[in-house]
Amino acid sequence: MDAVSIVSDEVRERIRREGIDPGRDSTGLRRLVESAVAAYDERSLIRALPPLADTGRAVKSVIDEVAGFGALQAYLDDPSVEELWINDPGRLFVARSGVSELTTTILSASEVRDLVERMLKFSGRRVDLASPFVDAMLPDGSRLHVVIPDITRHSYAVNIRKFTVVSTRLDDLVTLGTLTPQAAEFLSASVVAGLNILVAGGTQAGKTTMLNCLLGAVPARERVITCEEVFELRAPLRDSVAMQCRQASLEGTGEIPLRRLVKEALRMRPNRIVVGEVRQAESLDLLLALNSGLPGMATLHANSAREAVVKMCTLPLLAGENVSARFIVPTVASSIDLVVHMRLDGDGRRRVTEIVGVPGRVEGDVVETTDIFTRRDDRLVRAEGFPPHPDRYERAGVDVATLLRGSWR
């Protein structure tokens, strides 16, 4: 047993004896750890104990072991790390600027299990043979996903997507090179005008960040209800309510799926509804809400804006056999107004590749689209199309035709 482990065990024993809550009394915990490290350092000079190479680093390591998440805490504290995942105890990866790298950290199988139990304690969720998958949120807002054997071959598979507030406004995305100033102004005006916006892209393309920035453009007087699997969105509004799904209990009861949240949101007097990510039958409930005149936004996994529209025409069919494409296709055409597609480049940069308008027309069971912005020569430039509902822009005091004729090239 190394020196840090010995001190950690001593600190845990003193915590139990003195009744300190490590999660709430950080000052008391640090004082106790510093005292324990100093006492151990003195003992190691006269007894055959493993020495502490650096007492300051030892204090940090012990606090991480006792009140944090052990060997993972250093990566959680590192602002350059966006995501970390464990394939097996000997392979811990991190992603920085969208690029993954294998770390030198090696854990044991029991350490991984203990860390997962510690992380789930904060959320009240569980993972076991009956529920081998779990989505949960850590205290700092990071999203945790765990899969256990026998779904995985041998080891726990752990993913932690850190909550990092890098961008909260569309102007921030302009600074990062994700958007051009003209496209940002157009999207901001579209949010104010109450258009229904779908943000599409692959994993880690920046969809949630874009949705958070679009929320930043919502007028302050509006009431916004957000629905998510796990809390990730941050609506910077005084009048907003965030809801997340709930797992079933050990008895198999009490589950709250995303479909239920969308339905309940409609009873909460929203001015706008936002769904964190549309994956399955909840797409039907979202379409019905948008089709009733309620503005909304959502994200969706898709390879292009047009594929996102096609996917929105097929996902609602999962809601039941009585749902037909004859109803869904025209509903999508009349409910979705704009699609913003994003991608993660090989250099780790996240960019908007196209902004597409949905005029509301259907030709041969195909929803028509029109390019408003497209990427040419690695630049997002103005295309020929115009968004639907010019009357909504006019009511919002926006001359959309002049805005789109602007000279931002």
pLDDT at 166: 65
Q: Which range is least confidently modeled, 218-222, 263-267, 319-323, 405-409?
A: 405-409
Q: CA-to-CA distance for 195 and 335, rounded, in angstroms?
A: 9
Q: What structural domains and CATH numbers belong to the chain?
A: 3-67 (no CATH), 73-161 (3.30.450.90), 170-404 (3.40.50.300)
Three-state DSSP state, 400: helix
pLDDT at 122: 79
Q: Distance (Å, rounded) from C-alpha 243 to C-alpha 262?
A: 9
Cα–Cα separations (whole angstroms), residue 27 to 6, 108, 209: 21, 30, 34
pTM of the predicted protein model: 0.81
Contact 301, 201 (CB under 8 A): yes
Of 13-17, 154-158, 225-229, which gets the smallest average pLDDT?
13-17
Q: Are 248 and 254 in contact (CB under 8 A)?
A: yes
What is the rounded average pLDDT of the residues 124-143?
A: 86
398 torsion bin: left (phi>0), alpha (psi -120 to 50), beta (else): beta
408 pLDDT more than 50: no
Of the ranges 61-75, 130-144, 301-315, which is most confident?
Answer: 301-315
pLDDT tens sequence across 42-98: 787 777 777 787 788 888 888 888 888 888 999 998 988 989 999 999 999 999 887
- 228-232 LR contacts (CB < 8 Å, sep 24+): 228/258, 228/261, 228/275, 228/276, 228/277, 229/135, 229/258, 229/276, 229/277, 230/135, 230/136, 230/137, 230/143, 231/137, 231/141, 232/141, 232/143, 232/163, 232/208, 232/276
Q: How far is CA 206 from CA 82, 94, 209, 341, 350, in A?
A: 12, 17, 5, 10, 6
Q: What share of the chain in percent tops pLDDT 70? A: 98
Can you tell me the mean pLDDT for 362-380?
92
Q: How far apart are CA 139 and CA 161, in angstroms?
A: 13
- Segment 293-309 mean pLDDT: 95
Q: Angle formed by the axes of helices 282-291 and 258-265, to 10°?
A: 20
Average pLDDT, the chain: 89
pLDDT value, residue 250: 72
**What is the β-pairing status of strands 99-102 and 91-96?**
antiparallel
Q: How confident is the model at residue 1 (pLDDT cuts 50, 70, 90)?
A: low
Task: Please give the average per-residue pLDDT across 18-33, as a whole number.
Answer: 78
Instruction: State both tokens at 137.
Output: 């949120």
Crossing angle for the helix pair 26-46 and 55-67, to the nearest 10 degrees:
130
Closest CA relative to residue 391, chosen from 347, 360, 362: 360
